[in-house]
Structure 1
Amino acid sequence: MSIQISPLSVKELRTKTGAGMMDCKQALQAANGDIEIAVENLRKKGLASADKKLTRLATEGIIDSYIHIGSRIGVLIELNCETDFVARRIEFQKLAKNLAMQVAACQSVFYVSINDIPQEIIDREIRIESGKEDIINKPPEIKEQIIKARIDKRLKELCLMHQCFIKDQKVLIEDLVKEHIALLGENIKVRRFQRFILGEKIDLN
């Protein structure tokens, strides 16, 4: 027998996830009224449905900006979707703003995803890790495993999609985008971004 779910709980879950009313009610019933479990289940469901849309062409969207307090750091970001209709949705525009803010906050991030990192950067990181003293005397197979793990970690540190969302550390940016794909029903891609830091690269000589 399904438990009674209050409209207030449904509304709270809808606010947290953006899912439909019936989806929220069913998720709460399956979770015996536990909102946190319902949120997790809806996110899993959304990520699975979003994966199917990732290959669809996304050529519409917006260019948005974020200027940090004090006006010393600014970011421009291009976020693409499939239609102009979704580009005008407040949820899409809020996502663009949040992603621009994320780029401003993560100043070690220079690429959207690992696939965007030039091979010469990867080769440089491999050379650096291979020459570290703590692995010089380890057996070759162990050394290779350590280098691979460190390179994977380093490359993720350089990429926006592998960062934890500054507003919710339990959510990766990659999953945040997928949640919006599920919510809005279209493929969404971060095409590019540019960070501006006041005084950067000024030659004082």
Structure 2
Amino acid sequence: MSISAADVKKLRDMTGAGMMDCKKALAEADGDFDKAVDLLRKKGQKVSEKRADREANQGLILSKVTEDGSRAAAIEINCETDFVARNEDFQNDAQSFLDAAFDNKIDNIDDLLKLEIDGLTIEKHLEEMVGKIGEKIEISKVIYAESEGSLISYIHPGNQLGVIVEFEGDLPSEDIGKDVAMQVAAMKPIAVNREGVDSSLIEKELEIAKEQLLNEGKPEHIAEKAAQGKLRRFYEERVLLEQKFVKENSVSVQDYLKQNDAPTVKAFHRLQLGEEA
């Protein structure tokens, strides 16, 4: 099939791979971008995640947690420019929407938009904000969590990244919880433990690792075994409890929690401005 220059550029922006490599991968994949990305990885190309330059969504991420850590909520509200995101009225409105989600235990956008504040639904408040400010404004994410253990929130300076972490019991200190929340913010894990990783993703990683090794000339039986080793490294990079603790690389996150007699992590939510949920 004919591969357009625009498609080649799109794949290059997505992956960082060379133009000719991208063109060949797209041709081999019959224009399927996901398959083309996998083909590039199998051939040993270093593929970066979402490298494509795109217009960044602006706005705020806010969170709220009870003093006893039993309930937490977070929202992402978007606008078109950073100038609006820094506006005090916009920030006050965003806080009122967060409070409404928190007080009413709302965990989805549809229900949140139906809630009333001062006689108007939040949906209508957003419409009024659009009319007043002249920019597209929307709430794109809502998180609500309850726990019999401990919930900890971390908002990175600038309110463009936020994390809520749930622990299975009471924490010896809030600082330990903050450290783990900052780990989630910085290292972007995909699951708490191995059991939480989607099986199809594991199969894909094994397939890619094996294909890379075969392309390097390794025999089939050696490639099979070595692929398992690459999968272990994948877990160490992408699974929270197995990641190296950012403040002390000699221990894993799980080790850090054990050393401090802290409960393990049960779940986490990570919100980054403009990033799909």
Give the TM-score normalised by structure 2. Answer: 0.44
Structure 1 position 93 matched with structure 2 position 174: yes
**Equivalent AA in structure 2 for residue 96 of structure 1:** G
Secondary structure of 1:60's aligned partner: coil
Q: Which runs of 5+ in 1 are unaligned?
A: 1-58, 82-86
Q: Which one-letter code corresponds to 2:254 in the other structure?
A: E
Check conservation: 1:92, 1:180, Cα contact below 8 A.
no
Residue 168 of structure 2 is matched in structure 1 by 80
SS of equivalent to 1:110: coil
Question: Relative to structure 1, is the Cα distance of residues 132 and 198 closer, same or farther in structure 2, using a 3 angstrom cutoff?
Answer: same
Question: 1:164 deviation in Å?
Answer: 1.7
Q: Measure, in 1, the Cα distance between the counterparts of 2:276 and 2:240.
A: 23
Report which of the two has the higher share of helix. 1
Corresponding letter in the other structure for 2:257: V
Equivalent position of 2:275 in the other structure = 200
The answer to whether structure 1 residue 154 and structure 2 residue 207 are counterparts is no
1:172, distance to aligned residue in structure 2 (A): 1.4
Equivalent AA in structure 1 for residue 155 of structure 2: I
More strand by share: 2
Q: Which residue of structure 2 aligns with residue 54 of structure 1?
A: none
SS at match of 1:191: strand
Q: 2:187 is matched by which residue type in structure 1?
A: C
- Runs of 4+ in structure 1 over 4 Å off: 133-136
- Deviations for 1:37-63, whole angstroms, at most 9, x for unmatched residues? xxxxxxxxxxxxxxxxxxxxxx73211
* Structure 1 residues 92 and 61: alpha-carbon distance in aligned structure 2, compared to 1, 3 A threshold: farther
Q: CA deviation at 1:135?
A: 4.2
Report what 2:266 is aligned to.
Answer: 191
Bigger RCO of structures 1 and 2 (CA < 8 A, at least 6 apart): 1
1:114 match:
194
Consecutive unaligned residues of structure 2, counting only runs of 5 or more, are 1-146
TM-score, length basis structure 1: 0.58
Distance 2:254 2:276 in 1: 31
Q: SS of the residue aligned with 2:260?
A: helix
Q: Which of 58, 70, 74 does residue 158 from structure 2 map onto?
A: 70
Distance between the aligned counterparts of 1:173 and 1:201, measured in 2?
26
Which structure: larger Rg? 2
Q: Secondary structure at the match of 1:112?
A: coil
- CA shift in 2, pair 1:150/1:133, >3 Å: closer
Equivalent position of 2:207 in the other structure: 127
How much is the aligned-residue C-alpha RMSD, in angstroms? Answer: 2.1
Q: What do the CA deviations read for 1:97-144 (whole angstroms, capped 9, x no partner)? A: 11101100102x111111221211111111211222654632222111
Rounded Cα–Cα distance in structure 2 between residues aligned with 1:196 and 1:168: 24
Instruction: Decide whether the 8 Å contact of 2:235 with 2:242 is kept in 1.
Output: no
Secondary structure of 2:205 counterpart: helix
**More displaced 10-residue stretch of structure 1: 61-70 or 193-202:** 193-202
> 1:60-116 CA deviation, whole Å, 9 max, x = no partner?
3211110111111100110121xxxxx2x6x33221111101100102x11111122
Q: Tell me the percent identity.
A: 30
